[in-house]
Chain A
């Protein structure tokens, strides 16, 4: 598809097709102000019109495909003949591109959390720059999708099963394409496992979508209306995004649990996910204690970077929450407008019926039809607001929570180190006292303890350094991903706005001659 066969609206001043990204603004990616600045090539590849997006035309993973059971209301509107197909491809969903270190250099142990680049840069503070501008090398293709929600079983024991399909060229998987069936608790179980293993290292573990007793009950009970269909679709999309974020993470992808989740046919039922289980209680307690400790710890860190970033994260989270609330109310408003427009359309039709001038009567009926179509547009717009915008915001509110958790882990590690240092200090004081009091047997013990604690202090210090590096790296990666994510979602949203407007224009264009024909 030629890059030039774009829309037919007015020409843009200045060619936009040549090399859109060579004129990237030169901004420090550390800032986070204008998120549309990204310096990574995957972005360029995604939006370059010349990219052969037609690789997998009928594949599960191209968004232009509408024949699957995945019936997102946004994609169906693309099949409206009004819009030329070329435009769809331009904005086809960015396939998750992974940047992977060469698999052969990865530590062979299953719990490998650290990629070689980490140890490299842990020793040199000046390579922080290097870290920040780390290019994505060796990008492998790895795509996951969550589709075909199916209700299994009946009544209160029923559940929704989702098809998880993977397509990959990575050698660590048995096949290139495969799919399995998973249920919601499986996803939660995956999160639990990853959390346990990786959160202590300062990794940002993507959080799964929230549980919803109300939503699920409606589905279980078999309430067959649009609200439960909406709920299922929301959940499906959220699970897909969750999984995509997990496989996008270089360390997490290495985890055998992830592999097992994607590949294994039958997964043992995750037990720790039920709200009232033992694990559930433990989580609640941990969360409570975290809240308390959060208030008291303040690292006297010479590196103010972490403090600043944490503050940024906190304020961003607040803003996103506010925005989310407003978008929600906007969605409601649109729905109200919808209803009122429909009612008005009917009223107009009635008026047209009683009008005895034929041409005027017809024009009024046409107006009623236009207003009816407006109503449909409003409804679609509301859905788009919701599915694209509100969900994006909700995702990131949760993610920012995870980021905060990450920072808190670091603080805990620091605290542990500090406490070990003070314990060591105390042991030394004890030793000094014993020396003075001349008790050789106890002295020996004291010396042993001192050695032990010296070891601990060294280890904890190393831990702290390590986690600091990880957190920093994770954060930068997160920022980059966030930038990409927001951008692609915003573009998707704008796209839907555009389509809606185009139809808006068509409707009124059709009506105008009718109005002029009144005599």
Chain B
């Protein structure tokens, strides 16, 4: 039976895959403190030497690519696909460590079960980070302009190390200050009322939306954590109960596993969705900021030109400067409108897809739990140990097993 979950690339974004350029992450390896992604490309474009090839990339190289887009003036008018978050296994590792330390205080059974679960959690985080990186690449590949970017092609094709090092302390400090300046400026720029109704509306909308998504994202994280933290208690209950009520203990165990799945699904379909759109709405806001900045520059250039003309001094200079600003502004405006419309379409489609899938999964899990509970009750009445009859009368496809294998993960798409 095929695993139930879909290709993660389609999790948060609805993309048309184009035969001329297809990118995916075919493999990934988790090492001590880094993850190595195997980026696989299939393309009919003439730019590439071959039609199909793979390279190995690390997280820093993704960041480098993203940053190169952001810094490129040519792309000021586009929503830059948000960079994938850094792979973070710290929390999971910590839990595993704590489990190892607490090994003496629980029975062997409990320990094995919890270890399995923590390993599954680790694996889930791993799969997610792979998916996030993949989504980034796919968004770039799907974008009509960005897919032609030189750096992108190098990223895809160059099979040596890109020698991209992570930012050192000084550079990080520079970034930090840049961001401070930028957000201050952003407030300034946002204060300027736009002539264009569409953009004015988008500005207000995005601001509110972004904040609410941020809130929803953090609240959903907390809720799902609560969901997950119930699991160890249920585990102990089910092992304790096992000594008394075999049937109920079995039910508890089954229910627990399913509820863990529910939490994982909620995490994937809801929490990740919200997180992703938090980042994308930020990218959209950034676009608006850039446009706003360009508008302010344009208006300033106009004023400067008027002044120059009045004084009849450096008029040519002022004119060229004004021209440049005008072109920049108009270029951004033109593409920004379409970008924002596309963003909306993508967002609606992604939410639809994920909410539908979430509802279907919740429904399926609830039905399964219902069935198991019902079986348990009728078993209890009969007081006869019955062989497990799970799965056969209903014909639900079995929930895809979490693949074993701790370090090397083959994402099953």
Binding site for B on A (CB under 8 A): 7, 9-13, 16, 20-21, 23-25, 34-38, 47, 319, 322-323, 326-327, 329-330, 333-334, 336-337, 340-341, 343-344, 347-348, 350-351, 353-357, 359-360, 363-364, 367, 486-487, 490-491, 494-495, 497-498, 501-502, 504-505, 508-509, 511-512, 515-516, 518-519
Who on chain B is nearest to A25 by CB? B384
Q: Are A501 and B205 in contact (CB under 8 A)?
A: no
Chain A residues with CB below 8 A from B230, complex form: 330, 333-334, 337
Complex CA gap A504/B212 in Å reads 27
Q: Which of B233, B247, B363, B394 contacts A333 (CB 8 A)?
A: B233
The B218-235 residues at the A interface (CB cut-off 8 A) are 219-220, 222-223, 225-227, 229-230, 233-234
Residues of B within 8 A of A (CB): 205, 208-209, 212-213, 215-216, 219-220, 222-223, 225-227, 229-230, 233-234, 236-237, 240-241, 243-248, 251, 344, 347-348, 351-352, 355-356, 358-360, 362-363, 366-367, 369-371, 373-378, 380-385, 389, 392-394
Contacts of A490 in B (CB 8 A): 245, 248, 380
Q: A363 and B351: CB pair below 8 A?
A: yes
Contact B212 A515 (CB under 8 A): no
On whether the beta carbons of B377 and A330 are closer than 8 Å, the reply is no
A326 to B377, CA, bound (A): 23
Asked whether B367 lies within 8 Å of A7 as measured between CB atoms, the reply is: no
B210 to chain A, nearest CB (A): 9
Q: Would you call A36 and B383 a contact (CB within 8 A)?
A: yes
B240 near A501 with CB under 8 A, answer: no
User: Would A508 and B223 be within 8 Å (CB), given that A11-B393, A495-B377 are in contact?
Assistant: no
**How far is A341 from B223 in the complex, measured between Cα atoms in Å?**
6
A-B CB contact pairs (8 Å), 6 listed: A10-B393, A34-B385, A322-B240, A323-B240, A350-B216, A491-B380
Closest-CB distance, B99 to chain A (whole angstroms):
17
CB distance from A240 to the nearest CB of B (A): 23
Complex partner residue of A36 from B370, B380, B393, CB under 8 angstroms: B380
Flag if B219 contacts A343 (CB, 8 Å). yes
- Is the CB–CB distance between A13 and B389 below 8 Å? yes
B212 adjacent to A354 (CB under 8 Å): yes
Residues of B with C-beta under 8 A to A512: 356, 359-360, 363
Is A319 a contact partner of B377 (Cβ separation < 8 A)? no
User: Is the Cβ of B219 less than 8 Å from the Cβ of A340?
Assistant: yes
For A363, list chain B residues within 8 Å (CB): 351-352, 355
CB-contact partner of A323 in B222, B229, B237, under 8 A:
B237
Question: CA separation between A21 and B379, bound complex, in Å?
Answer: 11
Assess the A13–B223 pair: CB atoms within 8 A: no
- Distance of A505 Cα from B240 Cα, bound (Å): 29
- State A143–B65 Cα separation when bound (angstroms): 78
Query: Cβ of B351: which chain A residues have Cβ within 8 Å of it?
Result: 360, 363-364, 518
Q: How many angstroms between the C-alpha atoms of A516 and B360 in the bound complex?
A: 10
**Closest chain B residue to A353 by CB distance?**
B212
Chain A residues, CB < 8 A from B383: 21, 24-25, 36-38, 487
Cα distance A347–B80 when bound, in Å? 27
Residue from B237, B251, B358, B382 with most neighbouring chain A CB atoms (10 Å): B382
Q: Chain A: which residue is nearest B372 at the CB level?
A: A501
Residues B348 and A508 in contact, CB atoms below 8 Å apart: no
Rounded to whole angstroms, the CA-CA distance of A341 and B224 in the bound complex is 9
Q: Using Cβ atoms and an 8 Å threshold, which residues of chain B touch A9?
A: 370-371, 374
Q: In the assembly, what is the distance between CA of A163 and CA of B203, in Å?
A: 67
A347 in contact with B375 (CB, 8 Å) = no
Q: Which of B352, B359, B369, B392 contacts A501 (CB 8 A)?
A: B369
- Chain B min CB distance to A89 (Å): 14
Residue on B with the closest CB to A9? Answer: B374
Return the contact of A347 from the options B219, B356, B362, B370 (Cβ within 8 A). Answer: B219
A357 touches B344 (CB 8 A): yes
B410 to chain A, nearest CB (A): 31
Minimum CB–CB distance from B264 to chain A (whole Å) comes to 15
Whole-angstrom distance from the CB of B130 to the nearest CB of chain A?
Answer: 26
Q: Which residue in A7, A330, A360, A518 is a CB contact (below 8 Å) of B374?
A: A7
Q: Pick the contact of B240 from A47, A319, A351, A355 — CB < 8 Å? A: A319
A343 touches B222 (CB 8 A): yes
* B248–A326 CB distance below 8 A: no
A495 to B392, CA, bound (A): 23
Main secondary structure of the interface of A (DSSP, over half): helix
Please give, as numbers and ranges, the residues of chain A lying within 8 Å of B370 by CB-CB distance: 9, 498, 501-502, 504-505
Contact A491 B381 (CB under 8 A): yes
Asked, given contacts A12-B378, A509-B363, A519-B348, whether A326 binds B237 with beta carbons under 8 Å apart, the answer is: yes
B394 touches A336 (CB 8 A): no
Question: Is the beta-carbon distance between B219 and A505 smaller than 8 angstroms?
Answer: no
Q: Please give, as numbers and ranges, the residues of chain A lying within 8 Å of B237 by CB-CB distance.
A: 323, 326-327, 330
Given the known A-B contacts A327-B237, A363-B351, are A354 and B220 also in contact in the complex, defined by CB atoms under 8 Å?
A: no
Q: Cβ of A518 and Cβ of B355 under 8 Å apart?
A: yes
Chain A residues whose CB sits within 8 angstroms of the CB of B394 once the complex forms: 10
Which residues of chain A come closer than 8 Å to B215, judged between CB atoms? 347, 350-351
Q: Taking A23-B382, A351-B213 as contacts, is the C-beta distance between A344 and B393 under 8 angstroms?
A: no
How many Å from the CB of B244 to the closest CB on chain A? Answer: 6
Residues of A within 8 A of B227 (CB): 337
Task: Report whether A326 and B212 are in contact in the complex, using a CB–CB cutoff of 8 Å.
Answer: no
- Min distance, Cβ A448 to any Cβ of chain B, angstroms: 57
Whether B245 and A35, one on each chain, are in contact in the complex, defined by CB atoms closer than 8 angstroms, is: yes
A326-B216 in contact (CB<8A): no
Which residues of B lie under 8 Å from residue A501 when comparing CB positions? Answer: 366, 369-370, 373
CB of B358, distance to nearest CB on chain A (Å) = 8
- Closest chain B residue to A491, Cβ basis: B380
Report the minimal beta-carbon distance from A281 to chain B, rounded to whole angstroms: 37
Known: A494-B380, A504-B366, A505-B363. A515 touches B356 (CB 8 A): yes
Point out the residue from A322, A334, A494, A505 that lies within 8 Å of B367, measured CB to CB: A505
Which residues of B have CB within 8 Å of A494?
248, 251, 373, 376-377, 380
**Chain B residue at smallest Cβ distance from A348:** B216
Max chain B CB contacts within 10 Å: which of A7, A47, A347, A367?
Answer: A347
Cα A37 to Cα B381 in complex, Å, equals: 10
CB distance from B101 to the nearest CB of A (A): 20
Q: How far is the CB of B236 from chain A (nearest CB, A)?
A: 5
- B125 CB, min distance to chain A CBs, angstroms: 21
Least CB distance from B276 to A in Å reads 14
Q: How far is the CB of A158 from chain B (nearest CB, A)?
A: 38
CA distance A495 to B244 in the complex (A): 19
In the docked arrangement, what's the CA distance between A283 and B367, Å?
Answer: 53
A343 to B212, CA, bound (A): 13
| Whole-angstrom distance between the Cβ of B356 and the nearest chain A Cβ | 4
Evaluate contact between A344 and B359: CB separation under 8 angstroms.
no
CA distance A333 to B256 in the complex (A): 14
Within the complex, the shortest CB–CB distance from A7 to chain B, in Å, comes to 7
The reply to whether B380 and A487 contact each other, CB–CB distance below 8 Å, is yes
Q: Nearest CB to that of B209 among chain A residues?
A: A354
Q: Which B residue's beta carbon lies closest to that of A518?
A: B352
Within the complex, the shortest CB–CB distance from A254 to chain B, in Å, comes to 31
Query: Other than the known A491-B377, A498-B374, what 18 A-B pairs have Cβ atoms closer than 8 Å?
Result: A7-B374, A9-B371, A11-B393, A16-B382, A20-B381, A25-B384, A36-B380, A330-B237, A333-B229, A353-B212, A354-B208, A357-B347, A501-B373, A504-B370, A505-B363, A505-B367, A518-B356, A519-B348
Taking the nearest CB of chain B, how far is it from the CB of A498, in angstroms? 5
Contact B363 A337 (CB under 8 A): no
CA distance A322 to B385 in the complex (A): 26
Chain B residues, CB < 8 A from A356: 205, 344
Neighbouring B residues of A10 by C-beta, 8 Å: 371, 393-394
Closest to A342 in B: B223
A13 touches B377 (CB 8 A): no
Q: B384 touching A347 by the CB < 8 A rule?
A: no
Among A47, A329, A487, point to the contact of B233 (Cβ < 8 A).
A329
Q: Please, which residue of chain B has its CB at the minimum distance from the CB of A492?
A: B377
The docked-state distance in angstroms from the alpha carbon of A36 to that of B250 is: 14
Q: What chain B residues lie within 8 Å of A515 (beta carbons)?
A: 352, 355-356, 358-359
9 smallest A-B Cβ distances: which pairs?
A: A518-B352, A515-B355, A337-B226, A501-B370, A340-B223, A344-B219, A504-B366, A512-B359, A347-B219
